[in-house]
Amino acid sequence: MQAFVDTRPPYPPVWSRLGMRLLLLLALLLAAASLKAEPVMLDQHWEYRWGDSPFSDNGTPLWTQQADAADWQPIDFPANPPGRNDQTNVWYRTVLPDGEWRDPVLYVSSIDLIVEAYLDGKQIYHYGHFDSEGKGHFQGWPWHMIPLPSDAGGKTIYFRVFSDYVAIGFWGEVKVMERTALYDQINEQSFEGVIITAFCLLMIMLALLFALFGNQRQLFISVALFSTASAGMAITGTTIKQIILNAPLLWEYIAAGSYYLFPLGMAMLLEVVFSPDCKKCLRTLQVVFFAYITGALGLSLLGVVNLSDTYPVFDAFFATLVPLMLILTFIHRHPHNPDQRVILSACALFTLILMLDMAVAHNWIEWRDIPVDWGALVFVLAIISLSLHHYLRMQNKLTRLNATLEAQVRERTQKMEQLAAQESARARALEFGNQKSLLLDGLINRIEAEADVPSALQALGPALAEFCHPVPGGYYRHADDGERYQLSHHWGSSEQLPAQAINDIVLPHPGWQSFHVDYQHPQSGPRTGAIICINLASDTIDFEELQAFTLKTLFKRAVERMGLTLSRMALQEALSRLSYEDALTGLHNRRYLDEMLPREMQLAQRNRTPLTLMICDLDHFKRLNDTHGHAAGDRVLKEVSQRIKDTFRQTDILSRYGGEEFVVVMPGADLESGLQRSEQLRQQLSELDIMYEGKSLGPVTLSAGICSLSADITTPEQLLQQADSALYAAKHQGRNRIMCRSNGHPGS
C-alpha cells in the first residue's frame, strides 16, 4: 500500500484566507455596531404613584393603560417618594431612551424589595412573588437584568414595587445597555472583588496558622475574623456572584454575617492592644455583637423576622456603640505608643468607610460606590504588617525644629508685611465699592423708570460709562435678528472691541471679560438682554487688590441686580398683558372689549367716522365637543382665532366674547367693508379642513351678525344687542351665513 504523502501547501488555501478575512470584517462591523449603543443612564424623567393598580380580567394592570393620569407625580430618582405614610406599594414609570440596540437590557443595582416590570401592558420581568393583596417577602438584594425588545426605545416602562423595609424603590445605577456590555461590566467590576476575596482567604489561613503556633493568639484570631468578614463582603459586593450562584437570599446571609462580624473583630483587636482599664467594656461589647449576630441570623432563618429588617437595627448599634468604643480606647491610649496610634487610626478610618456605606444604603447621601472591600483589605494588611514587622516608629524632630525656627520667623515677618499692604489696598477697594454701590442704585432707578424691558435695555447703555469708570468697556445689545449683538455704547480705551458678534463677544485681549445681563421672561424663560465687556487688565487700575477681586465681584453682582430688575419688569409686562388676553386663543378677552368699545365709539362719534362691529358664533360647536372631545374643540378655536387674525386688520379689536363666540370691532370701517371681511372669514373657514390626531373634524362654519354705529345707537350695549340680533337671525335662517343690521332691521 502506498504511503499517504501530504502535498498541501504550508499556508491555508485562498478560500480559507478569504473566509478568515470575512469573519474578521464581520467581527469589526459587530464591534462598530456595539459602539453605537452606549449605555444610557435613566436618572431623570421618572414618575411615581402610591398604591397598587387594579388588574383587568386578562391580568393587565389598568395603570399601564391609562395615559397621563393626574395621580402620577414627577420624581428625580425612583426611590423613597414623599408622603409614604406606611404605604408598602408604589408604581414607577419612565420612557426608555432611543438607541440602536441589538440586545438591550435594563440594569438596576438593587430594588427594595420585590418588583414586576411591564412594557406595552405585558409583564416582562419579576423578582419575588406578589400575593393577591399585592404584597410579598424579602428575597435578597440582587442586581437585576431586565431583557428589553430591540424596539423598546420611546416606550413607557412601568414598575410595580412592594417593600415593608425602611426604603422603597430603586438603589444605585439604573441604565439601558447591551447585554454583552453588561457582562463586560460585570467582569470588569468583579475583578477586584475576586482578587480581594482570594487574598483575604489567604490571610485567614495565615492568621489561623499563626494563632495555632504563635504567642499572640487573640490578635491573630481577630485578624482572621476581619479577613473572614472582608472576604465575605468582597465576594458579596461583586456582581459576578449571581452568575456563580443565582441564590440572592443565600448571598444576603453571607453579606449580613460578614458585615456583622466587623465590630466583633474590632473589639477583640482593641482588647489586645489597649490597656486593661477598658478591657471589661470591650468584652461586654464583644458579647453584645456576638449575641446580635447569632440572634439576627438565627431568627431570620427561622422566619421570625426578615433579614432585611435586621440591617437598620444593626446600623443603629454600629453607629452608636463603635464610635463610643473608639472614644473609650482613645481616652485610655498611651500617648507615646505608635502601635496604638496606628491601630486606632485604622479602626477610625475603616469605621468612617462603613458609616459612609451605611449612609449610601439608607439614601442619606447620594449613591456612590464606597470601597468597603478595599478598606477592609487595607485594614487587614495594616494590622498584619504592624504585628509581624513592627512598623518603624516616628523619630523625634525637635532638632530639625530648632534649625527651621529662624526661617519660619522670617517667613512670617514677610507674610505680615504682605498682609499690611493687602489691607491697605483692600481699604481703598472698599471705598471704591461703596461709591459704585451708590451709582448702581441710581442706575437701577433709571431703568426702573422705563415703560418696558426694551426701553430699559436701551437706557442702560448710556448710564454704564459713569458706573464702570475708570475701567474701559463696551455695551452690546441684541440686533433685530435676535442672535447678533451690536456694539451700542463704549467708553474708555475700547477701540479694539468688535462692532458686532454672533452668540458671544470675541474679546480682543485676555484681560477682557464679558458679563451677560440675563433675565427671566415669564413665557420664554431665560434671556440674555445685553452683554457688558470690561477690561480688567487695564492700566487705569493702580492697585492690585481692586483689580483681582473687587472689580470682578462688583460687576458680577451689579449684572445680577440688573437681571433681577429686568425680570421684575418682564413679569409686570406679562401680568398686564395676560389680564387682557385670552389664554387659549391669544385674542383679547371680554374685559379688554368692555374697556375699549366705549372708547372707540366715542372716537368715532367725535370724529364722525364709521365703526362696525361683528359678532360671530361657530355652528354646532357643542356637537363637535361631544363627538371629538374638548381637546379637539380647543384645536378648532385656535384655528378659527388664527384665521380671524389673518383676515382682519391690526387696528381692529379682536376678542373672544365667550365660549365659541368672537367679537371684532372695526374702527373706520363701514357696513359694506365689514360685511366683505366677515364673508371672507366665513368662506375661509368653510373651506378649512382641521385635522386632530390624524382625523378630520369635518367642515367648520360660522354664523355672524354685523351692525354699524348709527345715530340711534348711543351705548356699547345697544351696538352689541343689534349685532347679536343679526347673529340670531343668521342662526334662525339656517346658519353658515352673515346677517347685518341697518337702522334696526336685519339684512343679508
Kindly state the cell numbers that stand for 642: 388664527
Furthest-apart CA atoms within the chain: distance in Å? 134
Give me the DSSP letters along 623-645: HHHHHH-HHHHHHHHHHHHHHHH
The 10s digit of each residue's pLDDT in 513-529 is 888 888 888 777 888 88
Q: Report how far residue 142's alpha carbon sits from residue 240's, in angstroms, rounded to the nearest whole number.
A: 11
The 10s digit of each residue's pLDDT in 558-594 is 888 888 888 888 777 776 666 678 888 889 898 889 8
Contact in structure between 267 and 289 (CB atoms under 8 Å): yes
How many Cα atoms are found within 13 Å in the side-chain-facing hemisphere of 424?
Answer: 8
Beta bridge partners of 705: 615, 739
Q: Report how far residue 620's alpha carbon sits from residue 700's, in angstroms, rounded to the nearest whole number.
A: 9
pTM of the predicted structure, to 2 decimals? 0.43
Predicted pLDDT of residue 696: 84
The 10s digit of each residue's pLDDT in 708-727 is 999 889 899 999 999 999 99
Kindly state the cell numbers that stand for 355: 458609616
- Exposure string over 138-150, b if 16+ CB within 10 A, otherwise e: bbbbbbbbbebee
Q: At what angle do helices 307-331 and 279-301 cross, to 10 degrees?
A: 170
Quick check: helix, strand or coil at residue 570? Answer: helix
Beta bridge partners of 742: 745
Predicted pLDDT of residue 736: 93
Predicted pLDDT of residue 49: 92
pLDDT at residue 638 is higher than 70: yes
Rounded mean pLDDT, 488-509:
69
Q: Report how far residue 114's alpha carbon sits from residue 134's, in angstroms, rounded to the nearest whole number.
A: 10
Q: Report how far residue 94's alpha carbon sits from residue 170's, in angstroms, rounded to the nearest whole number.
A: 13
Of the ranges 301-305, 315-319, 330-334, 547-551, which one carries the lowest mean pLDDT score?
547-551
The pLDDT confidence band at residue 644, using thresholds 50, 70 and 90, is very high
Rounded mean pLDDT, 148-174:
90
> In sequence order, which ranges of 274-337 are alpha helices (DSSP H)?
279-301, 307-331
The pLDDT confidence band at residue 324, using thresholds 50, 70 and 90, is confident
Contact in structure between 13 and 33 (CB atoms under 8 Å): no
pLDDT at residue 19 is higher than 60: no
Of the ranges 236-245, 476-485, 540-549, 698-707, which one carries the lowest mean pLDDT score?
540-549
Return left, alpha or beta for 570; rule: phi > 0 is left, psi -120 to 50 is alpha, else beta: alpha
At position 605, the amino acid (one-letter code) is: Q
The 10s digit of each residue's pLDDT in 664-719 is 999 999 999 999 999 999 999 888 888 888 888 878 899 999 999 998 898 999 99
Q: Which residues make Cβ contacts (< 8 Å) with residue 463, sequence separation at least 6?
A: 442, 443, 446, 447
Q: Residue length, the chain?
A: 748
Whether omega for the bond prior to residue 113 falls within 30 degrees of 0, making it cis, is yes
pLDDT at residue 231 is higher than 60: yes
Predicted pLDDT of residue 216: 66
Rounded mean pLDDT, 109-131:
90
The pLDDT confidence band at residue 36, using thresholds 50, 70 and 90, is very low
The 10s digit of each residue's pLDDT in 184-219 is 888 887 887 788 888 778 877 877 777 777 566 777
At position 245, the amino acid (one-letter code) is: L
For the beta sheet containing 738-742, the strands, ordered from the edge strand earlier in sequence to the opposite edge, are 653-658, 661-667, 611-618, 702-708, 738-742, 745-747
pLDDT at residue 70 is higher than 90: no
H/E element holding 116? strand 114-119
Task: State what percent of residues in the chain have pLDDT above 90.
Answer: 22
Contact in structure between 647 and 679 (CB atoms under 8 Å): no
Contact in structure between 154 and 98 (CB atoms under 8 Å): yes
How many Cα atoms are found within 13 Å in the side-chain-facing hemisphere of 408?
Answer: 6
Q: Report how far residue 350's alpha carbon sits from residue 58's, in angstroms, rounded to the nearest whole number.
A: 53
Predicted pLDDT of residue 162: 95
Q: Report how far residue 561's alpha carbon sits from residue 548's, in angstroms, rounded to the nearest whole number.
A: 21
Predicted pLDDT of residue 336: 60
Q: Report how far residue 400's alpha carbon sits from residue 182's, in angstroms, rounded to the nearest whole number.
A: 56
Give me the DSSP letters along 407-462: HHHHHHHHHHHHHHHHHHHHHHHHHHHHHHHHHHHHHHHHHHTSSSHHHHHHHHHH
Kindly report the average pLDDT of the chain as a whole number: 80
Q: Which residues make Cβ contacts (< 8 Å) with residue 293, sequence separation at least 6?
A: 257, 260, 261, 264
Predicted pLDDT of residue 677: 92
Kindly state the cell numbers that stand for 113: 424589595
pLDDT at residue 107 is higher than 70: yes
Decide the pairing of beta strands 473-478 and 525-535. Answer: antiparallel
Predicted pLDDT of residue 643: 92
Q: Which residues make Cβ contacts (< 8 Å) with residue 198, sequence separation at least 6?
A: none
Segment of 221-225, 286-290, 392-396 carrying the highest mean pLDDT: 286-290
Q: What's 37-90 look like in SS3?
A: CCCEECCCCEEEEECCCCECCCCCEHHHCCCCCCCCEEECCCECCCCCCCCCEE
φ and ψ at residue 715, rounded to 5 degrees: -130, 155
Quick check: helix, strand or coil at residue 676? Answer: helix
- Alpha carbon of 334 to those of 177, 185, 322: distances in Å? 55, 47, 20
Contact in structure between 584 and 630 (CB atoms under 8 Å): no
Kindly state the cell numbers that stand for 24: 474578521
> Which has the higher per-residue pLDDT, 626 or 392?
626
Q: Report how far residue 238's alpha carbon sits from residue 196's, in angstroms, rounded to the nearest whole number.
A: 11
φ and ψ at residue 352, rounded to 5 degrees: -65, -40
The pLDDT confidence band at residue 494, using thresholds 50, 70 and 90, is low
The 10s digit of each residue's pLDDT in 456-473 is 888 888 888 888 877 888
Give me the DSSP letters along 679-748: HHHHHHHHT-EEEETTEEEEE--EEEEEEE--TT--SHHHHHHHHHHHHHHHHHTTSS-EEEEETTEEE-
Task: State what percent of residues in the chain have pLDDT above 70.
Answer: 81
- In 3D, which of 370, 315, 316 has the Cα closest to residue 171? 370
Whose grid coordinates read 417618594?
81
Of the ranges 398-412, 417-431, 444-458, 542-556, which one carries the lowest mean pLDDT score?
542-556
